[in-house]
Amino acid sequence: MYGENVSDIAMKTIIINSEENNIKDADLKDAGEIIKRGGLVAFPTETVYGLGGDAMNPEASRKIYAAKGRPSDNPLIVHIYKMEDLFRIADGVSEGALKLAERYWPGPLTMIFKKKETVPDQTTGGLDTVAVRMPDNRIALRFIEAAGGFVAAPSANLSGRPSTTTAEHVIEDMNGRIDMIIDGGSSVIGLESTIVDMTGSSPMILRPGYINGEMIRDVLGDVSYDPAVFGEETEGLRPRAPGMKYRHYAPKGELTIVKGEREAVVSYIKRGIDEALKDGKRVGVISASRDMTDGAASGMERETPGITGRTEADGYGKEVLIMNVGDLRDEYSIARHLYDVLRECDKKDIDIIYSEDFSTPKIGQAIMNRLIKAAGHRVVEV
């Protein structure tokens, strides 16, 4: 006996290549069987990649927490593929919830309901409520059906790291830790779903996402926010979505968000770069293009993840990485590339990161919610 070493416990992860809308029936069947046996499969959705297990199997939930290194009081979202299944896991589904489902499902909206007893406590982190979503991605919907209809899934990243929006990201974090990864290309939205608590008298947003307050109000005439959505992570202010209390989405480097007039922001960041270089540190800058003279406005870079290493043009050496996260005239492009850019900072061993503010009209609240957490609330106004 030589004891357990890494190769004893590490498993072989099967990687399935598929195009959006197209997964081979045989692969789908294998994926479904892994879930039914209690195993784990990472799968694409329109928001981020999910780390799926059988929502009705407590052992599968335990494995999800273990694979992510996630605290087990942080509940999972149950993914369904057809409306009838909602009533098998949720109680007290209101008229309002049905209206939201009709408008936004399949889509990037998670709703919280009272849970039925059929849902194991391990899946809901001990809560008597359950989070449910029907994703808007054909591979995801077919996979959930093949898996038996109820797939519990958090984002497919190691706990504390930025979420995964490509299969490459999932491989970085999960290779050897789960049974299978289905590659379905890049996530179209790139940020996790909006979470709305439907158990109270009016809908309450616990986590902002693509479906914003305006879009909820448009259907129900009413919406409120959990104060923790805006708040500092202070004691006493306990977020109603337990996951919101953890330091999340964070790159390894120290990220600072710089807000203010463009010129003031640029000069603040330039001073910061000079300081950091003097200390022998590597610096990253996250910004968005805003007009046709900017590099990323030329179509090509908008297609690919928004990283352009414009270091030489800016007169800096390899120690400075200028990253283009998207284009301000298409605010959704910024959401789509945010996690890719944060992960790039880790790959390039960046020590100090500056980002501009992206409080855009529609998805800006969700972008800034994630970015402020990634920055550990370091926001400078200049």
Residue placing its CB nearer to ligand AMP in the complex, 192 or 356: 192
Residue 55 Cβ, how far from ligand AMP at the closest point, in Å?
11
Q: Which does 123 bind (CB under 5 to 8 A by kind): Mg ion, ligand AMP, none?
A: none
Q: Label each residue of the chain as H, E or C.
A: CCCCCHHHHCCCCEEEECECCECCHHHHHHHHHHHHCCCCEEECCCCCCEEEEECCCHHHHHHHHHHHCCCCCCCCEEECCCHHHHHHHEECCCHHHHHHHHHHCCCCEEEEEEECCCCCCCCCCCCCEEEEECCCCHHHHHHHHHCCCCEEECECCCCCCCCCCCHHHHHHHHCCCCCEEEECCCCCCCCCCEEEECCCCCCEEEECCCCCHHHHHHHHCCCEECHHHCCCCCCCCCCCCHHHHCCCCCCCCEEEEEECCHHHHHHHHHHHHHHHHHCCCCEEEEEEECCCCCHHHCCHHHHCCCCCCCCCCCCCCCCEEEEEEEECCEHHHHHHHHHHHHHHHHHCCCCEEEEECCCCCCCHHHHHHHHHHHCCCCEEEC
Number of residues that bind Mg ion (CB under 5 A): 1
Residue placing its CB nearer to Mg ion in the complex, 155 or 187: 155
Tell me the backbone φ, ψ of residue 123, rounded to 5 degrees.
-70, -35
Q: How far is CA 157 from the centre of its chain?
A: 9
Residue 206 Cβ, how far from ligand AMP at the closest point, in Å?
6
**Which residue ranges make up the site for ligand AMP (CB under 6 A)?**
74-75, 77, 112, 124, 127, 129-131, 154-155, 192, 195, 206, 240-244
Q: Which does 244 bind (CB under 5 to 8 A by kind): ligand AMP, Mg ion, none?
A: ligand AMP
- Residue of minimal CB distance from ligand AMP? 243
Residue placing its CB nearer to ligand AMP in the complex, 72 or 175: 72
Peptide bond into 58 cis (omega under 30): no
Residue 73 Cβ, how far from ligand AMP at the closest point, in Å?
9
Give the Cα separation of 182 and 184 in Å (integer). Answer: 6
Residue placing its CB nearer to Mg ion in the complex, 155 or 199: 155
Segment interacting with Mg ion, rule: CB under 5 A, options 75-83, 119-127, 153-161, 173-181: 153-161
Residue 311 Cβ, how far from ligand AMP at the closest point, in Å?
33
Residue placing its CB nearer to ligand AMP in the complex, 78 or 375: 78
Residue 22 Cβ, how far from ligand AMP at the closest point, in Å?
25
Residue placing its CB nearer to ligand AMP in the complex, 32 or 154: 154
Residue 376 Cβ, how far from ligand AMP at the closest point, in Å?
17
With contact defined as beta carbons under 8 Å apart, do 339 and 187 qualify? no
Residue 245 Cβ, how far from Mg ion at the closest point, in Å?
12
Q: List the x/- string, 9-28, binding to Mg ion by CB under 5 A.
A: --------------------
Q: Which residues, 6+ apart, have CB-to-CB distance to 302 below 8 Å?
A: 296, 326, 327, 330, 333
Residue 327 Cβ, how far from Mg ion at the closest point, in Å?
26
Residue placing its CB nearer to ligand AMP in the complex, 226 or 356: 226
With contact defined as beta carbons under 8 Å apart, do 228 and 207 qualify? no
Residue 48 Cβ, how far from ligand AMP at the closest point, in Å?
8
Q: Which of 122, 124, 129, 155 binds Mg ion (CB under 5 A)?
A: 155
Segment interacting with Mg ion, rule: CB under 5 A, options 152-160, 172-180, 233-241, 284-292: 152-160
Which of positions 225-254 make contact with Mg ion (CB under 5 A)? Answer: none
Q: Which does 184 bind (CB under 5 to 8 A by kind): ligand AMP, Mg ion, none?
A: none
Residue placing its CB nearer to ligand AMP in the complex, 152 or 269: 152
Segment interacting with Mg ion, rule: CB under 5 A, options 55-63, 113-121, 148-156, 340-348: 148-156
Residue placing its CB nearer to Mg ion in the complex, 70 or 142: 70
Q: Which does 90 bind (CB under 5 to 8 A by kind): Mg ion, ligand AMP, none?
A: none
In which region does residue 81 sit, left (phi positive, over 0), alpha (psi from -120 to 50) or beta (all else)? alpha
Residue ranges binding Mg ion (CB under 5 A): 155
